[in-house]
Amino acid sequence: MRDAALAGLLGRLERAVVGRAAAIVPLSAYSRSLLDADHPRAEKKIVMLSGAVDTSFFRPADPDAPESPPVLVIVRRLEEGVGIEEALHAVALLAGDGPLEVAFAGDGPAAGRMRALAEQLGLADTVVFLGSVGAGVLLQWYRRAHAVLIPPAPHEGFGLAAVEALACARPAVGTGGALATVLGGLDTSLVAADRSAGALADAVRRAFVLYGDTEFRKRCRAYAVENFSWSSAGARWDELLHRVAGGDV
């Protein structure tokens, strides 16, 4: 009863906000599909804009030299139901391929259980849980990474960490939600076939191969700058905000 009452209240609040909004900005086609399904009358208010990252900060090191063994960075808040278990099982499969170093950036209420799961899977010497880290530490790990894995949350509205990794010239791997479009626009092999551990592991293996191609790493960086930098996306945001402030939407 309590959950049903809360859902009803949140639904009414959402409808009120959508009704009063001058403009509604989904950050991806996936987010727009959810909006269209729940609020079909809001179509005229929708303005599609992309999220963005600071590509002057998130950039590859110079020189950008490969390291060995492979380093996999995983970024996600440690909560239930956002794909952490599948990601750790994927790491267990990858660890069977040979030496591997994994850094998990993120903290949350499920941190203890996820650390316990990593130990159960025999990953105590493979996975380092970094906890909550600042942008500077995350940047250093992106630069060390051969690939970045985004665990498969059921609703991914944009995929900020994936774009940060691409800006650092690192292939990112994910599946579902907005990531299918964000990553697929660069290379569809970066999109796992589904959220299973096996599919995630296969996609990471493909990313490791792509990482070895210097030109592909340059493409990652160029793709992020062209599509998701503040210099490119910021102008569109600025235009929209001025229109809203002036009552033109």
Q: In what order do the strands lie in the sheet with 71-75?
A: 127-131, 101-105, 71-75, 147-149, 172-173
Q: How do the domains of the chain map onto residue ranges?
A: 2-52, 71-227
**Mean pLDDT score of the chain, rounded to an integer?**
90
Reported as a single tens digit per residue, the pLDDT across 167-176 is 999 999 999 8
Grade residue 12 by pLDDT with cuts at 50, 70 and 90.
confident
Whether CATH 3.40.50.2000 fits 71-227 = yes
Grade residue 201 by pLDDT with cuts at 50, 70 and 90.
very high
Buried b (16+ CB within 10 A) or exposed e, 51-71: bbbebeebbbeeeeeeeeebb
Reported as a single tens digit per residue, the pLDDT across 24-75 is 887 778 778 887 888 888 788 788 788 899 999 999 998 876 677 899 999 9
